[in-house]
Amino acid sequence: MKLFEPQKGAHSPSRCKRGTAGLASESENSKLPYGRIPPESGTAAWRGELQYLKKYVALFLVILVCFIPSTAFAQKKSEEAPVLDGTKTKPIRIAVEFTTHSACAHIANQKGWYVEEGLTISSYENFITGMALAVALAKGDIDAAYICLIPAINAKANANVPIKIVAGIHKYGYGFVVNPDRVKTIDDLKKKEIRIGCSREGSPLDALLHKMIEKYHLDKKQILKKVRRMNPPKLLLALKTGQLDAAFICEQFPTMAEELGFKVFLTAEDLWPNMQGSVLVVREELIKEYPDIVKKLVKVTERATQFINSNPEEEAAEIVAGGLQVAGKKISPVKAIDVASKLVITPTPILKSLTVRLVNTTDINPEEIRKAIDTCVELEYIKESFKAEDFIDLTGFAK
């Protein structure tokens, strides 16, 4: 018995005819590679069909060879930056801090001003601190960042991240918060039982802690050995639960702490006059290859900053509070979400933070950048100094 060949007498002619209903006729079938019983090997029919199949294979290979280069070219073209109105552009990745320091970015994002300006934002990510954001910059995950100045300096000096400042964001924005029942004077900090909180070394808050020690002639070793290091939301919760008696925290947290009955004992302005708080930095390749994108980023930042200064009570505080409340549930790094998501952020403290604790301005003073670099060297955050002028590029961007 041959394969596929029906047994003699197994079916009547009529049944065989019904069984092949819907199939092509024998002459038609010989033109198809599938759908019929193949001819016996070695026969003329078999050789004819073999030749026909070879033609199919050859045609398929020709099509395949032609198709692969075209798709590769299409893929390459899709990765290149599109050109709109004669200007090369590309999607950009923006990062901000989980604070009012990045208020202008939160407002611009919520109001759709980036899109309105023709920018394509592929990601907009919130980071728990400027230090965490600096790590992302070092990895190359970010194109533009609204970040505290000192972490930006650390990223440039220690990780050799090719970034430049293209605009300011605000001055000040940090505070030393105390439990008024436990700390009434600066000398109370000398007491052994007083517990102080601060973010990690290399942060603006740690720099202010050292400036407080210097200004009030405190024992540096004595103070530092009892400092507990944690991120801003944890510092606020630690104050609330009585685990800390005092803490350096970045805005909006000092103002939120006041609503809980704590006192802002010292501000950044008290310890560091004209302190540059945060800046807008971009990767150098963005400046070189996509200057129009940088111009638009600065333009939107200036617009949002003007909006904050002109409409703090009408919209700004509500927009920022809403943005931060949502951001707390999807913050980076992921391990910070548990604490950040527990915070209830309302417009009232945000309004005070924006109008009292921050000076919102895109202006940049190179001398203040130089002072910040010197502070980082003095506190050994960075090994070597560098020129402030090499860290700033305002030409054609900021006003």
What is the residue type of 347? P
Question: Which domain range does residue 69 map to?
Answer: 24-79
Residue 12 inside a domain? The answer is no
Q: Do strands 276-283 and 144-148 pair parallel, antiparallel, or not at all (unpaired)? A: antiparallel
Asked if 315 and 289 touch (Cβ cutoff 8 Å), the reply is: no
Asked if 232 and 204 touch (Cβ cutoff 8 Å), the reply is: no
Mean pLDDT of 21-50: 47
Does the pLDDT of residue 147 top 90, yes or no?
Answer: yes
Most confident of 46-55, 90-99, 328-337: 90-99
H or E segment at 97? strand 92-97
- Give yes or no: residues 107 and 95 share one domain: yes
Which phi and psi angles does 390 have, rounded to 5°?
-80, -10
Residue 253 has a pLDDT of 96
- Give yes or no: residues 162 and 219 share one domain: yes
CA distance 20 to 22: 6
- Give yes or no: residues 370 and 329 share one domain: yes
Domain stops at, among 59, 79, 99: 79
Domain stops at, among 32, 56, 79: 79
Q: What is the pLDDT of residues 166-224, one digit of tens each?
A: 999 999 999 999 999 999 999 999 999 999 999 999 999 999 999 999 999 999 999 99
Given pLDDT bands bounded at 50, 70 and 90, which one contains residue 342?
A: confident
Domain stops at, among 64, 79, 94: 79
Residue 346 inside a domain? The answer is yes
- Give yes or no: residues 70 and 134 share one domain: no
Q: What total number of domains does the chain contain? A: 2
- Give yes or no: residues 65 and 142 share one domain: no
**DSSP letters spanning 221-269:** HHHHTTEEE--HHHHHHHHHTTS-SEEEEETTHHHHHHHTT-EEEEEHH
Residue 280 inside a domain? The answer is yes
- Give yes or no: residues 213 and 73 share one domain: no
- Give yes or no: residues 164 and 292 share one domain: yes
Given pLDDT bands bounded at 50, 70 and 90, which one contains residue 53?
A: low
H or E segment at 399? none
Asked if 352 and 255 touch (Cβ cutoff 8 Å), the reply is: yes
Residue 81 has a pLDDT of 42
How far is residue 163 from each of residues 97, 157, 159, 167, 317, measured CA to CA in Å? Answer: 17, 10, 11, 12, 30
Does the pLDDT of residue 352 top 70, yes or no?
Answer: yes
DSSP state of 389: G
Given pLDDT bands bounded at 50, 70 and 90, which one contains residue 47?
A: low
CA distance 383 to 94: 28
Give the chain's end-to-end CA distance (angstroms, integer): 92
Residue 169 inside a domain? The answer is yes
- Give yes or no: residues 176 and 286 share one domain: yes
Sequence-distant (≥ 6) Cβ neighbours of residue 380 within 8 angstroms: none
- Give yes or no: residues 216 and 307 share one domain: yes
Residue 342 inside a domain? The answer is yes
- Give yes or no: residues 367 and 380 share one domain: yes
Which of 105, 94, 170, 198 shows the shortest CA–CA distance to 137? 94
Residue 258 inside a domain? The answer is yes
Which of 91, 200, 103 shows the shortest CA–CA distance to 146? 103
Residue 208 has a pLDDT of 98
CA distance 141 to 131: 14
Tokens (6 digits) for 283: 């990767």
Tokens (6 digits) for 179: 């439990």
Q: Percent of the chain having pLDDT more than 70?
A: 76
What is the residue type of 8? K
Tokens (6 digits) for 99: 């604070």
Residue 18 inside a domain? The answer is no
Mean pLDDT of 289-310: 96
- Give yes or no: residues 355 and 246 share one domain: yes
CA distance 194 to 180: 12
Which phi and psi angles does 237 have, rounded to 5°?
-65, -35
Lowest mean pLDDT among 24-38, 108-122, 246-260: 24-38
Asked if 202 and 381 touch (Cβ cutoff 8 Å), the reply is: yes
- Give yes or no: residues 171 and 278 share one domain: yes
More confident residue, 76 or 96: 96
Residue 11 inside a domain? The answer is no
CA distance 179 to 263: 6
CATH number at residue 179: 3.40.190.10
